[in-house]
Amino acid sequence: MIAIEHLTKSYGKFKALDDISLSFERGQAISLLGPNGSGKTTLIKSILGLVIPEKGTIKINGSEIKTHWEYRSQIGYMPQIGRYPDNMTIGQVINMLKEIRKDCKQYDEELIVSLGISNFLNKTMRSLSGGTRQKVSACLAFLFSPDIFILDEPTAGLDPLSSEVFKDKITKERANGKLILITSHVLSDLEGITSHMVYLQDSKLMFYKTVEELKLSTGEEKLNKVIATIMLKELPKTIHN
């Protein structure tokens, strides 16, 4: 569904992505992991067309995204920081997006109800807490039932209850054959959701494997143990490199 080939991007002297090649298929839930500044957000933004790559290609459903913009109707994006115009109400923001997406007639408003956003539709964006804003971002990402979900640190500001609601929704969408890309530092939140792991470090792809493979090779059951074991093994190598 998404095919990335030799993607390279640098900001001045700093290389944010170095020759990344990956391919993702329907029904996968992929976790993008890596330390801060390892290029996760740049990778996501390149897929969204917000960052323009230097080298390499990104194909979605076989066609290159370069100059096309229509492909974005298949993507639901939840940004790391959701900031909205101060004086707009939640209802206005939702309506605005609905009006922009005239091509979509059916809305998936499940999260708006289950996250309790429907009770605050008249509140202005300025008055919302960080967590509530994040809930709004989540609702918007799922609103048009896209085929691909790109979620940047989705659970960082959510309370445990909302976080569970949200994770259930992700599991459900994955069962529907959607592709899900998540970045998160909260490994316990990814437990049970993800099928594959992509690990980036120093702008390079370290590995791209299924969770089962990783569990087998490390002999650990819990995701945070798995990753910790890998990091301990891999890190010294990269330092010597």
Partner 1 sequence: MKTIIKYVLLDLLKNKTILVYTVILAALAVSVLNMDNNNSKGLLSLLNITLLFVPIISILFSTIYFFNSVEFTELLLAQPIKRKTMLLAEYTGVAFALSIAYIAGVGIPVSIFCSGLAAFTLLVSGLFLTLIFSALALLIFVLFKDKTKGIGAAIITALFFTLLFDGLLLSFIYSFSDYPIDKPLLGLISLNPVDLGRILVLLQLDVAVMMGYSGALFKKFLGSATGSIYTIACMLFWIIIPLVISVRVFKKKDL
Q: Binding residues for partner 1, per CB under 8 A?
A: 11, 45, 48-52, 69-73, 75, 77, 79, 81-88, 92, 96-97, 99-101, 103, 137, 140, 150
Nearer to partner 1, 88 or 186 (CB): 88
Give the pairing type, strands 204-210 and 196-201.
antiparallel
Nearer to partner 1, 68 or 222 (CB): 68
Min CB(168)–partner 1 separation in Å: 24
Min CB(81)–partner 1 separation in Å: 6
Helix 160-175 / helix 130-142 crossing angle, nearest 10 deg: 10
Min CB(23)–partner 1 separation in Å: 21
Q: How far apart are the first and last CA of the chain?
A: 34
Residue 57 and residue 47: Cα distance in Å, rounded?
A: 10
Q: How far, CA to CA in Å, does 240 sit from each of 29, 34, 194, 204, 237?
A: 32, 18, 31, 15, 5
Nearer to partner 1, 89 or 194 (CB): 89
Nearer to partner 1, 34 or 53 (CB): 53
Residue 99 and residue 119 in contact, taking contact as beta carbons nearer than 8 Å: no
3-class DSSP assignment, residue 34? coil
Residue 148 and residue 179 in contact, taking contact as beta carbons nearer than 8 Å: yes
Residue 56 and residue 53: Cα distance in Å, rounded?
A: 7
Nearer to partner 1, 82 or 154 (CB): 82
Nearer to partner 1, 22 or 150 (CB): 150
Phi then psi dihedrals of residue 180, to 5 deg: -125, 130
Min CB(237)–partner 1 separation in Å: 31
Min CB(205)–partner 1 separation in Å: 20
Min CB(92)–partner 1 separation in Å: 6
